[in-house]
Amino acid sequence: MSFGILLLIGCSQRNQENKRPIHNKAYQKLATLVESGNDVYNVDSNVSSYPRCTQLYVDPANKKYYTFLNKADNSIYFYDAASKLLLFKTTLPVDGIASIGKKTEGYYIKNFDTIFAVSEYMLGIFDTSAKLKAKVDFYKFRKKLGNSSILSMGSVRQVGLYNDFIVLNNVPDIYADKQSDFDATQCGIKFSFSKPQETKYIMPYPYPYQLGVYGANFLSFYSAYDEQNSNMVYSFPNDDFIQVYALKSDSIKEFYGGSEFIDTIMPMKKPSNDFDGYNKHYLLSPSYASIIFDKFNNVFYRFALRPVSEKDYEARKWWKKKSIIILDSSFKKIGEEAITDSCSFLDAYITEDGLHLNSSIKGGPIVYKKFILKKISNVH
């Protein structure tokens, strides 16, 4: 059984979230993930083997492009996903009226004529020739919205597109060591270039953020987009539940999507906004991370991270062990698999061949380990 609650968007949502149903961690295992080889992309020495932002773009002719942002030269690189060869790159301007200012932090390719890119508070639209077609400064909306936000975009912080609207991931400009700063509606930005007056945040931080201070590492969150159903799906670091925002109905439901390896994620005993304090709390606590939609199998993959030990923390072995929760299209849990430590939850893409996770070695080529979803029959 999956648990969903329809939540009204607005102040009433905060009062309803603490009425979540009691959930049972028990589930019927119906699927598993199996490793199945690697994809390798050779890159120049000025390219990081862990790109900040990637996308597997498929054009109208069904040609697949592996793309990534190289922050060293502010360029989006386009590779042929079949041959693994570099085809071309688009270098976005960093100065002048034809730029969005400073370095690009993320992008999303709708098509070759419409590439969304973000830099701090700025959103722009470019084409593959790097021509700027439109831009907006979201800092100007801070009074209307209640506060400002840094825009975030990438393979694990996806955008949603519905009619004229785009839904963006964001990091609110708030104090991470001040619990009351998390109370306002300030997560997810709905925007339209043709209807800027309708710009709004879509939801507050979920219920666990009312329980105390968790630190700066719990400030940002992850998003996946189910285009077929026009649903944005959110994973917050300290919440067993996922949030599902329906663009068609402008409503939110939440579903239990917790890990068998996570019991309770506690707030900090003593709120701290210094790096050592909040980083230690994050590393010694379990947490959740990316959520990824697999449109070929109609399932979601959510990452769960286990805490490091005190011994490993002191030795600066800060790589948290990972598992992947598998949720079906109704957000019912159907599996969970522990995966190798070498795989990153920050860089991933989906193809018909499976889930691809970055497992590169620093200084080498970009390597993605592939995982295939296998259904399990319970008929004996």
| CATH code of 70's domain | 2.120.10.30
What distance separates the 2 farthest-apart alpha carbons in the chain? 67
Tens digit of pLDDT per residue, the chain (380 long)? 343 434 433 444 444 445 676 777 889 999 999 999 999 999 988 898 888 799 999 999 999 999 999 999 999 999 999 999 999 999 999 999 999 988 999 999 999 999 999 999 999 999 999 999 999 999 999 999 999 999 999 999 999 999 999 999 999 999 999 999 999 999 999 999 999 999 999 999 999 999 999 999 999 999 999 999 999 999 999 999 999 999 999 999 999 999 999 999 999 998 877 889 999 999 999 999 999 999 999 999 999 999 999 999 999 999 999 999 999 999 999 999 999 878 999 999 999 999 999 999 888 999 999 999 999 876 44
Close Cβ partners of 98 (under 8 Å, ≥ 6 residues apart): 131, 132
pLDDT at residue number 14 = 44
Question: Contact, 350 vs 292, CB < 8 A?
Answer: yes
In a domain, 380, yes or no: no
Q: Is 320 helix (H, G, I), strand (E, B) or coil?
A: coil
Question: Contact, 322 vs 342, CB < 8 A?
Answer: no
In a domain, 328, yes or no: yes
Task: Give which of 149, 138, 218, 157 is closest to 187, Cα–Cα.
Answer: 149
Distance in angstroms (rounded) separating the CA atoms of residues 123 and 117: 6
Q: Is 122 helix (H, G, I), strand (E, B) or coil?
A: strand
Angle at alpha carbon of residue 345, lines to 343 and 348, rounded to 5°: 90
In a domain, 216, yes or no: yes
Distance in angstroms (rounded) separating the CA atoms of residues 273 and 219: 12
Among all chains, which residue has been given the structure tokens 């691809």? 356
Q: Are strands 4-7 and 251-256 parallel, antiparallel or unpaired?
A: antiparallel
In a domain, 149, yes or no: yes
Residue range of the domain that includes 224: 4-375
In a domain, 348, yes or no: yes
pLDDT at residue number 331 = 96
Distance in angstroms (rounded) separating the CA atoms of residues 257 and 326: 9
pLDDT at residue number 378 = 62
CB crowding 121-136: b at 16 or more within 10 Å, else e: bbbbbbebebebeebb
Total count of domains within the chain: 1
Task: Give which of 343, 346, 277 is closest to 54, Cα–Cα.
Answer: 346
Close Cβ partners of 27 (under 8 Å, ≥ 6 residues apart): 332, 333, 334
pLDDT at residue number 5 = 39
